[in-house]
Amino acid sequence: QKEVEQDPGPLSVPEGAIVSLNCTYSNSAFQYFMWYRQYSRKGPELLMYTYSSGNKEDGRFTAQVDKSSKYISLFIRDSQPSDSATYLCAMSVYEENSGAGSYQLTFGKGTKLSVIP
Amino acid sequence: KAGVTQTPRYLIKTRGQQVTLSCSPISGHRSVSWYQQTPGQGLQFLFEYFSETQRNKGNFPGRFSGRQFSNSRSEMNVSTLELGDSALYLCASSSTGIANYGYTFGSGTRLTVV
């Protein structure tokens, strides 16, 4: 079982729809939760990050974390064709290796979203 | 403010060869991480450097190595290339390496091994 599971889609919605993207995880040590957006031929860009359970809103985007269920979601309201991209969830935990350490990201495989005009 | 720059953007190599990829982080960022992205496995962590020291390493064979220079620029090297090494290699930088603040990724180097 992978540490982070994400439905790869593809997901196709009409413009203006509400989009729900989800990830589940198995490692209860994960502390920080992020959503990245990746356009074709580009690197991922950070959309949202959260630490605690609950909701965080930024414009049309809402990130939701439920640590008790090990489940995170990203909601996109009033979706636009420019939102068409692959959305990756990511989580981090402090990893130590031979005395040194840092926070490392574990990614879901990504959900490909298409918003149809 | 310049972003993370990766060179080259595309590479085609033959099995058995070696390759070196370069990453210039955002000015002032001291942490550089490398990831491999494939359709089957998604994004997988390779290693992270901070102030020229490797702080963490993912579960990849020793053919994958990296280094960081005093100006924070980083290189990764893959020796004895295999077909399965074909992937998008992404570099990400941050000021401290604390992932909760978010890494900034480059556009990647697309490596094709034939």
Judged by CB atoms closer than 8 Å, whether chains meet at B48 and A104 is answered as yes
Question: Per-residue pLDDT tens for B34-89?
Answer: 999 998 899 999 999 988 999 888 899 999 999 999 999 999 999 999 999 999 99
Whole-number pLDDT of residue B32: 93
Rounded distance, CA B55 to CA A85, Å?
32
Question: Per-residue pLDDT tens for A21-41?
Answer: 999 999 988 888 999 999 998
Q: Identify the bridge partners of residue A49 per DSSP, sorted by sequence position.
A: A34
- B53 contact A CB<8A: yes
Question: Per-residue pLDDT tens for B25-35?
Answer: 999 888 899 99
Beta B104-105 vs B87-94: how paired, if at all?
A: antiparallel
Q: How many beta-carbon pairs under 8 angstroms link A with B?
A: 77
Judged by CB atoms closer than 8 Å, whether chains meet at A102 and B100 is answered as no
CB A31 within 8 A of CB B100: yes
Judged by CB atoms closer than 8 Å, whether chains meet at A102 and B55 is answered as yes
Q: Identify the bridge partners of residue A92 per DSSP, sorted by sequence position.
A: A32, A105
pLDDT, chain B, mean: 92
Question: Per-residue pLDDT tens for A82-109?
Answer: 999 999 999 988 776 655 667 778 999 9
CA distances from B9 to B6, B20, B26 (A): 7, 12, 17
Question: Per-residue pLDDT tens for A42-93?
Answer: 999 999 988 888 899 999 999 999 999 999 999 999 999 999 999 999 998 8
Chosen from A58, A95, A104, A106 to mutate, greatest number of chain B CBs within 10 A: A104
Count of CA atoms in the C-beta half-sphere (13 A) of A64: 14
Residue B111: exposure state from Cβ atoms within 10 A (0-12, 13-18, ≥19):
buried
Which of B86, B81, B48 minimizes the C-alpha distance to A102?
B48
Judged by CB atoms closer than 8 Å, whether chains meet at B103 and A105 is answered as yes
Question: Per-residue pLDDT tens for B60-71?
Answer: 999 999 999 999
Q: Which residues contact A14 (CB under 8 A, 6 or more apart)?
A: A115, A116
Rounded distance, CA A34 to CA A101, Å?
20
Nearest by CB to residue A43, choosing from B90, B99, B102, is B90
Whole-number pLDDT of residue B1: 63
Determine the distance from the C-alpha atom of residue B70 to the mean position of all C-alpha atoms in its chain, rounded to a whole number: 17
CB A35 within 8 A of CB A63: yes
DSSP string, A61-85: EEEEEETTTTEEEEEESS--GGG-E
Contacts of A97 in chain B (CB under 8 A): 55-57
Residue A9: exposure state from Cβ atoms within 10 A (0-12, 13-18, ≥19):
middle
